[in-house]
Structure 1
Amino acid sequence: MEKISRKEKERIRRRDHILDTAEVLIKEIGFDSTTMDQIAEQAEVGKGTLYLHFKSKTDIYLAICERGSRLLNEKMAAVITKDLSGLEMVRMLGTTYLEFIQENPQYFYAFSYYEGLMADETINSSDIVDMCEQNAKDGMTLIVRALQIGMQDGSIDNSYDPHQLGIMIWGASKGIINIAFLKEQGHHYKMLNEVDVSLKTMVHSFIQLIGKGISGK
């Protein structure tokens, strides 16, 4: 294992500190209202040091996205190691995702921001985007693995293609969470006014619906 130099350790520590500071600011006042000057001031670093680590506010938000997706994958990977049926794993993955987003809504917004930039070829050429993309692939691999385990143990209907099913579950879950967040923030379709919608109830209902739909029994 390669030993990290003191200088490199300090660089990593300072970068993480800047990200910690940016996360707090963005969570408090939003991405649009947060400026590079504010981040530098709150992190107690010079603007030169800030720009040495991050070229722009977009770079910072993408780094937050990478951090969030990596932390989420770690929690999801722990589910796959449990002695559970595949269907139980899928349900627990959904619950893990819900709890993570509830505790860290800033990461969900960073995920959405990242996805909104995917058409920008300049953004797509950066190293941090490559890491975000790899994290997304790793997360999907975990979902597909749980589905495959379920198809092998009989708890999930094996007539589905696990990769296609994984993408459908991932896409639908993001849509459900987005609607719930819009409702909670007061920005939503008028048709939702008469519906009792919350992030927790919607995701739990969605997990139950998916579980019944893919069950092999």
Structure 2
Amino acid sequence: QVPCKTPAPQKIPPMYIDVPPSNGLTTLTILRLIHEDGTNILKTINKPGSTAIYAETFEDYRKILKLLDEHNVKYHQINLRIPPLEYVMKGLPTDTTTDALQNEIRKLYPDAAVNPLLTTKGTHPGIYKITLPPTDVNKKFKDLRYVCNIRIYIDTYRRPTTLLCELCQRASHNTHQCSYEARCAHCAEGHDVQDCTNLTSPPKC
């Protein structure tokens, strides 16, 4: 059996502030304000006309962005999108509903989004995909062991190599690019899988 590859760690994008900053403060003053705010900087790199600030954690990253906005410090980023945390939860009863599970999970993780796990063979009752904002607190979700006293198992979600639209179930395009009618990945009817009322029945391939 070939072992699964460990997912690559998520990278925190640097923030580039202008040198000199446009708000009248110096670069050293801004770095001092970040330090006094209790925020950790992994490193800074001087570039032509700017300074790159690398946050130590995603929580530090958000705090730095907030501080820069509060002091009207202009900045730019190479990568503005931080990918969410995505997990797969297994071991639930097959009659578990999306709403009931989401209500339970949100008691601990209020920003969690819960959806039936979509595969090329449809959905599988009792297996769900959990999506969370990329915070340090939410990273602890993978250590969750019980939901309603039921022993569950958490795996990191691995995206399929074949691009499959979650809305229409056609290949080679993303959901946000799709203008086709919805087709349920579970029962093959004309609705989104999140609105399916037949999730407890066997999926149609």
TM-score (norm. length: structure 1): 0.25
Whose strand proportion is higher, 1 or 2?
Answer: 2
Whose helix proportion is higher, 1 or 2?
Answer: 1
TM-score (norm. length: structure 2): 0.26
